[in-house]
Amino acid sequence: MDAFDVDTSATNLSRRQFMKGSLAVAASAAALSAFGCAPSTKVKEDEGAAMAVNPEEGGTWVAAACWHNCGGRCVNKVMVKEGAVVRQKTDDSHEDSPTFPQQRGCVRGKAQQQQCFGADRILHPMKRKGWKPGGGENANGQMRGKDEWEVISWDEAIDLACQEIKRISDKYGPTGFYCKSPDASINVMCGCVRGWDTTSHGTYTLGSDMIGLPSTDIGKANDRFDLMNAEYIIMYSSNPTWSAAGTPTYYFIQAKEAGVKFVTVDPLYNASAQMLDADWIPVRNGTDMAFMLATAYEMLRLDQEEGNIVDWDFLNKYTVGFDAEHMPPDAKLSENLKDYVMGTYDGTPKTPEWAEPICGVPPEQVTAFARILGKNNKTMLLHNYGMVRCNGAEMIPQMLMALGAMGGHMGKSGHACGGAYHANCGNYGPNLVKAGSAKKPKTKNPCSTGVRQPQLYDLILAGGGEVLDVSNSYGSFHEPIPTTLGPIKGIFHVTDATLQTSLHQKAGIEAHRAVDFVLTRAQFMTTNALYSDIILPVTTEWERPGSVTTCNREFVYCYSQVTEPLGEAKTDQEIGTLLLEGMGMDPKLAYDTSEKQQFFEQIAGSQVMGASGEMEPLVTITADDISEWGVEGEPQEGIISLADFVANGGYQFERTSDDGHGFIGYEDFVTDPEANPLPSASGKLEIYCQARYDLMASFGYEGIEQYKPYPTYVVPVVGYESTFKDKKIGGEKSEYPYIMYNPHYLRRSHSVFDNCPWLRETWANPVFLNRQDAKDKGIAEGDTVLIETPAGKGLRRAALMDILLPGVVGVPHGAWVDVDEATGIDRAGSDNYLIGAEYGGMGVSGYNNQICNIKKYDGEALEADCDWPQRIVSA
């Protein structure tokens, strides 16, 4: 690619180098020196990182950040010697035991040193050669992604950026800019139009509280010790072994060893299912509603024929909308779930035979699943969110909750129904330790408009237009505010990988080429950076004073600085400060304390559950500590000294199964529903929910007339039906006969780590194909496959699988797009290059039920990703 002057010598690490981590680090450090910068490392105690010297190695262990949105939160310790990381280890602060487990890291964490010291780090401010401030022709926008780069000074970078920001701001005001989630400096400097998206929690993002669930359905599954009391744990669309590394898998293994039987409902017999020896219910992506409705039908049938399946007492007392006798007072439609399932309204009972052509699950498996959900079993229905990141999945939250309620699986030991997500998966309950706040000032974006993220690109390309503003910020929807936006001329990228992780990437690239100015903070030549004009080198967390994060209810991690900033990299706060100064504004409006002070505030404000049952200060801080750190604060009494807290890498609350800190979700509500109402209008679980439906209907998005205020089967705007001509299941197949989905993949945390040579070698990032599908298409293992969708084309090498449902194609999430400008084909297999902007219902980003075709590629075969050169831009 023209944009890179590529130096491959330091990058293609062999397997032997991978095995010898320290050698490989030396290689990266050498590459940095060649770049005019040898990393220097700060190990002085007075810098806040109290480190235990290891005399044997002559190095120093530091608790180092692993800061990504990876689903885990683990201890990651590095030994720093002569400016390089020479060893790495995980939690060894105490002996490991099932009740007091170490917070062990994953392989990505071990490759973290290549994030900080990687040969491809961006170390200097860079400018795209063809860009000049002033807009229009000066921007030379079509060259974004193709142009060459030049190193410029910080002074020049800030001066150019501020000139352009002022110009755009003066002419167009706050709506002249776009940033998915602006930071304090952007809010103060100019403001911007924001993008909202349904990312992690899919359709649970819309009003979970309105149906009586906690926000995004997180927090009402039980404490880890209670997993052992279940007879069955259903892992619905859930693969914590991949997507929640750290302790969750360990807790599930303990349940397995205690005799709990596992069931997985998933198009893939995933790694968690394999490890837990789960029974597999293979459901086609985006068709869970059909499967769930048939399960409800079978529960009702079995209950009538055999009894003891449906917990009528639970339904009647704690829910509304299941049947005609228990409707919520605000219902505008006299319909209910039970009558819909029985076919009262449409003459179609939602039997397993009705569901099978849609969801692909054999009827006998539906019956078996219905029995497991029966009221006399101790069953936990734990879900992740893959099945709601689908078009048409709007009513899944209500349906899944209805199934849990039909079996009465809430509020009792051994029973649960709720989200099992990220680092808290398998372990919910009030926090026993908690990180303090950094106490940064609050800033306000002068523009309140949030636009559905994938729509923004079309809006930019159209030079502005009408939008319906429906979401204030992540997770909070409101009645639509029709808004007219003018042209967007500037794009900022801060801490999101927006151009890579949002739908409609092809239009996104064009939109980036259409504006006057794109300013990106980056550590590497990421996709955002590649299509920018000015890149400001930002530090990694390893180059900052440190921070405290709440990892799970039992553990807070405290990490410290590993090295001085590499090259000319600066922290986000330093960059924000320079920009504000460049704009002639007071940086104090955005940042009123030092980063060191913020770190200290987090430590001082950290809390632990005390003997009294109240949260109390966690860390003991002396007057000497305060003067050594050079910060402002008051001495306080806690249970661990500041030096130990920093050196150990935080604090873990030691648990036992009878410590009184167990937690059963919904226990208070089930014990006394009047005294402890849920957040819904009726205070109960709303299987029929007028409020959530009315809010969604007010958006007026496509296909809304198909929906009801209770769960029904809806044909999605794009989904399985679209794999047939005329959307008729069973008819002739369409041009795109397969369903594509995006597993969150081991190599990466979203887009992060995709450039890491060790991880590229470890995880190949293939396209997942069913073996028979591949055979039918003449595709063999390792062949280069062309994946075609209505939105774009991408290449990946084939991995053939017997554990993937036929008709399903897995394109792992987050690969850095690499468009061949001649063919328009993306060589990297970026998920979002293959997805457009179609949406309906609530506007969910339907990552997991897109349509595609696959073929053996007749062009040049792809090399393995680990043999691709890194994106190294030389000065």
Ligand X SMILES: Nc1nc2c(c(=O)[nH]1)N[C@H]1C(S)=C(S)[C@@H](COP(=O)(O)OP(=O)(O)OC[C@H]3O[C@@H](n4cnc5c(=O)[nH]c(N)nc54)[C@H](O)[C@@H]3O)O[C@H]1N2
First to last CA, the chain: 16
Q: Does 133 bind ligand SF4 (CB under 6 A)?
A: no
Q: Does 246 bind ligand SF4 (CB under 6 A)?
A: yes
Chain position carrying tokens 């039918």: 776
Q: Does 690 bind Mo ion (CB under 5 A)?
A: no
Q: Does 78 bind ligand SF4 (CB under 6 A)?
A: no
Closest residue to bound Mo ion by CB: 200
Closest distance to ligand SF4 from the beta carbon of 70 (Å): 3
Closest distance to ligand X from the beta carbon of 318 (Å): 25
Q: Does 72 bind ligand SF4 (CB under 6 A)?
A: yes
Q: Does 111 bind ligand SF4 (CB under 6 A)?
A: no
Distance CA 374, CA 559 (A): 46
Distance CA 505, CA 497 (A): 11
Instruction: Give 240 or 360: the residue with its C-beta nearer to ligand SF4.
Output: 240
Count of residues making up the chain: 875
H or E segment at 480?
A: strand 476-485
Instruction: Give 89 or 146: the residue with its C-beta nearer to ligand SF4.
Output: 89
Distance CA 665, CA 222 (A): 5
Q: Which does 243 bind (CB under 5 to 8 A by kind): ligand SF4, Mo ion, ligand X, none?
A: ligand X
| Chain-centroid distance, C-alpha 393 | 18
* b/e 739-751 (16+ beta carbons within 10 angstroms → b): bbbbbbbbbbbbb
Q: Which of 56-64, 100-108, 208-216, 262-270 is the region at the interface with ligand SF4 (rule: CB under 6 A)?
A: 100-108
Instruction: Give 331 or 358: the residue with its C-beta nearer to ligand X.
Output: 358
Q: Does 832 bind Mo ion (CB under 5 A)?
A: no
Instruction: Give 555 or 669: the residue with its C-beta nearer to ligand SF4.
Output: 555
Q: Does 76 bind ligand SF4 (CB under 6 A)?
A: yes
In this structure, are residues 97 and 250 in contact, taking their beta carbons and an 8 Å threshold?
Answer: no
Walk across the sheet containing 84-89 and list its strands.
52-54, 59-63, 77-81, 84-89
Q: Which of 22-30, 66-74, 168-176, 724-732 is the region at the interface with ligand SF4 (rule: CB under 6 A)?
A: 66-74
Closest distance to ligand SF4 from the beta carbon of 343 (Å): 46
Q: Which does 114 bind (CB under 5 to 8 A by kind): Mo ion, ligand X, ligand SF4, none?
A: none
Q: Does 106 bind ligand SF4 (CB under 6 A)?
A: yes
Which residue type does 369 have?
F
Strand-pairing partners, residue 434, are 607
Instruction: Give 117 or 669: the residue with its C-beta nearer to ligand X.
Output: 117
Instruction: Give 76 or 712: the residue with its C-beta nearer to ligand SF4.
Output: 76
* b/e 575-600 (16+ beta carbons within 10 angstroms → b): bbbbbbebbebebeebbebebbbbbb
Closest distance to ligand SF4 from the beta carbon of 540 (Å): 13
Q: Are strands 640-641 and 619-620 parallel, antiparallel or unpaired?
A: parallel
Contacts of 134-138 spanning 24+ positions with Cβ under 8 A: 134/164, 134/167, 134/516, 135/164, 135/167, 135/168, 135/489, 135/516, 135/517, 136/516, 138/516
In this structure, are residues 747 and 106 in contact, taking their beta carbons and an 8 Å threshold?
Answer: no
List the interface residues with ligand SF4, window 754-783 (CB under 6 A). Answer: none
Those residues whose C-beta lies under 8 Å from the C-beta of residue 624, and which sit 6 or more positions away, are none
Instruction: Give 200 or 254: the residue with its C-beta nearer to Mo ion.
Output: 200
Instruction: Give 502 or 680: the residue with its C-beta nearer to ligand X.
Output: 502
Query: Minimal CA–CA distance to 712: which of 693, 728, 698?
Result: 693
Among 109, 145, 450, 487, which residue sits at the site for ligand SF4 (rule: CB under 6 A)?
109
DSSP state of 692: H
Handedness of CA 771, 743, 382, 224 (dihedral sign): positive
Q: Which does 321 bind (CB under 5 to 8 A by kind): Mo ion, ligand X, ligand SF4, none?
A: none
> What's the token pair of residue 710?
């209770």
> What's the token pair of residue 31?
């590459």
Q: Which of 71-79, 288-296, 672-680, 821-829 is the region at the interface with ligand SF4 (rule: CB under 6 A)?
A: 71-79
List the interface residues with ligand SF4, window 371-390 (CB under 6 A). Answer: none
Environment class of residue 30 by beta-carbon count within 10 Å: exposed (0-12), middle (13-18) or buried (19+)? middle
> What's the token pair of residue 588?
């104090």
Q: Does 74 bind ligand SF4 (CB under 6 A)?
A: yes
Q: Which of 6-14, 195-203, 588-596, 642-650 is the region at the interface with Mo ion (rule: CB under 5 A)?
A: 195-203
Helices (H), 142-216: 154-172, 184-189
Distance CA 479, CA 477 (A): 7
H or E segment at 760?
A: helix 757-762
Instruction: Give 60 or 594: the residue with its C-beta nearer to ligand X.
Output: 594
Instruction: Give 240 or 617: the residue with its C-beta nearer to ligand SF4.
Output: 240
Closest distance to ligand X from the beta carbon of 395 (Å): 14
Closest distance to ligand SF4 from the beta carbon of 19 (Å): 19
Instruction: Give 409 or 493: the residue with its C-beta nearer to ligand X.
Output: 493
Q: Does 66 bind ligand SF4 (CB under 6 A)?
A: yes
Instruction: Give 533 or 761: the residue with its C-beta nearer to ligand SF4.
Output: 761
Q: Does 240 bind ligand SF4 (CB under 6 A)?
A: no
Closest distance to ligand SF4 from the beta carbon of 651 (Å): 17
Instruction: Give 651 or 839: the residue with its C-beta nearer to ligand X.
Output: 839
Q: Does 205 bind Mo ion (CB under 5 A)?
A: no
Binding residues (CB under 6 A) for ligand X: these are 68-71, 199-200, 237-239, 242-243, 265-268, 270, 283, 285-286, 288, 384-387, 389-390, 422, 494-498, 501, 521, 523, 526, 538, 572, 741-746, 748-752, 813-814, 831-832, 835, 847-848
Distance CA 449, CA 451 (A): 7
Measure the CA angle with vertex 762, ends 759 and 767; round to 5°.
Answer: 95
Distance CA 266, CA 746 (A): 18
Write out the residues near Mo ion by the rule CB under 5 A. 199-200
